[in-house]
Amino acid sequence: MKTCCLSVALLLCSFFYSEKAAAIPKSAVLIVGNDAQNHAVGHLNSLADIFRQNGITVYKFYYPNARWADIKAKAVNCSFFIYTGHGVANGGFDGEFGGLYVNEFVTAQNIIEDVQFKNKPLIIYLNACGSHGTSAGDPDNIGIVEAHKRITDTALPFFMIGAGGYFATSGSITEFLQAFLKGVTLSECFKLQAEDWQKIVKHKPIVSSNALNQLYIGISSYTNGKEVYYGNAYVGPLNYCIK
C-alpha cells in the first residue's frame, strides 16, 4: 500500500511539475515608431503598467531606440506585439499597405523573413494609417472594399508567421486590453471598442487563398453625413483569446 501511495504521489508531483515547466511566460513588445506623436509614449507606458500588473514582462522599443534587430529578437516569443507610428502605404506585399517605420523601414517581406512566432500573439496597431482602414489625406470615403484591403494587407505578414489575432484602432486601447486580459475574446473586445461608432460594416469570414483564409474581419465606421471614417478593425478567429 505504501509503495502504491508513493507511486501515486510521485506521479502527481511529476504531472504538476510538467505543467509548471510547460507554462509559457508571457511578454509584450511595445514599439513607438519614428515620428510618432508625443502622446504615444504616455499611452504605451500606461499599457506597460497594465501588462506588468498581470504578470506579463514588457519590452519597450521607443524611437530612437527602436531597432528592428532588437525588436525581432524579442518578438519571437511574445504574446503581444504593439506598434504605434506611421502606417506604411507601400511597405506591404506588391507595394500595398504594411510593415513598420521604426528606426528604419521594415517591410512585410522583412517580417516574414526575420520572425517566426511561437506563441500565437495578438498584433495591435495604434493610430497607424491604413492599419484600421482610414489614412491621412484620404478622400471623404475610401469605401469598404479599400478599407478591407488595407487592413488585411497590413495583417497578412503577421499571420504568415504565426500570429493569433490582429487589432487596429485610431483610439486608446486601455479598456480593450483590460477586457482581453480577463479572457474576453478578440471579436467581443472589438465590439466593445467600436460600440460608440455608428456602424460595424463588416463582421464576416475572409475568403482567401492566403494565410487569412477562414479568419474573420470586423470593421467599424463613423460618418458625419459626408465623410466616412474607418477607425477600428480586427482580423482573427471569433474565439481568439489569451491563454
Quote the mean pLDDT of the chain: 91
Closest CA to 128 of 7, 232, 12: 232
What pLDDT, on a 0 to 100 scale, did the predictor assign at position 39? 85
87 residue type, one letter: G
What pLDDT, on a 0 to 100 scale, did the predictor assign at position 67? 98
Could you tell me the pTM of the whole model?
A: 0.90
> What are the φ and ψ backbone dihedral angles of 116, each rounded to 5 degrees?
-135, 105
Cβ-based burial of 36 (10 A; exposed 0-12, middle 13-18, buried ≥19): buried
22-36, 42-56, 132-146, range with the lowest pLDDT:
22-36
Cα–Cα distance, 187 to 139 (Å, whole number) = 29
**Predicted confidence (pLDDT) at residue 155 exceeds the cutoff of 90:** yes
**Predicted confidence (pLDDT) at residue 13 exceeds the cutoff of 50:** no
Cα–Cα distance, 93 to 89 (Å, whole number) = 11
Q: pLDDT exceeding 90 applies to what percent of the chain? A: 85
pLDDT tens digits, one per residue of 207-232:
999 999 999 999 999 998 889 999 99
Q: Name 167's bridge partners.
A: 124, 234
What pLDDT, on a 0 to 100 scale, did the predictor assign at position 22? 53
Indicate the pLDDT class of residue 2, thresholds 50, 70 and 90: very low
> What are the φ and ψ backbone dihedral angles of 8, each rounded to 5 degrees?
-65, -40
**Predicted confidence (pLDDT) at residue 136 exceeds the cutoff of 90:** yes
- Please give the domain boundaries of the chain with CATH numbers for all domains: 25-236 (3.40.50)
What pLDDT, on a 0 to 100 scale, did the predictor assign at position 138? 95
Indicate the pLDDT class of residue 23, thresholds 50, 70 and 90: low
Higher pLDDT, 20 or 22: 22
C-alpha cell at 39: 502622446
pLDDT tens digits, one per residue of 46-57:
999 999 999 999
22-26, 151-155, 161-165, range with the lowest pLDDT:
22-26
Cα–Cα distance, 157 to 235 (Å, whole number) = 12
154 residue type, one letter: T
What pLDDT, on a 0 to 100 scale, did the predictor assign at position 8? 41
The mean pLDDT of 167-192, rounded to a whole number, is 97
Which residue has cell 489625406? Answer: 137
Cα–Cα distance, 101 to 93 (Å, whole number) = 15
Q: What is the CA 144 to chain-centroid distance, rounded?
A: 21
Cβ-based burial of 53 (10 A; exposed 0-12, middle 13-18, buried ≥19): exposed
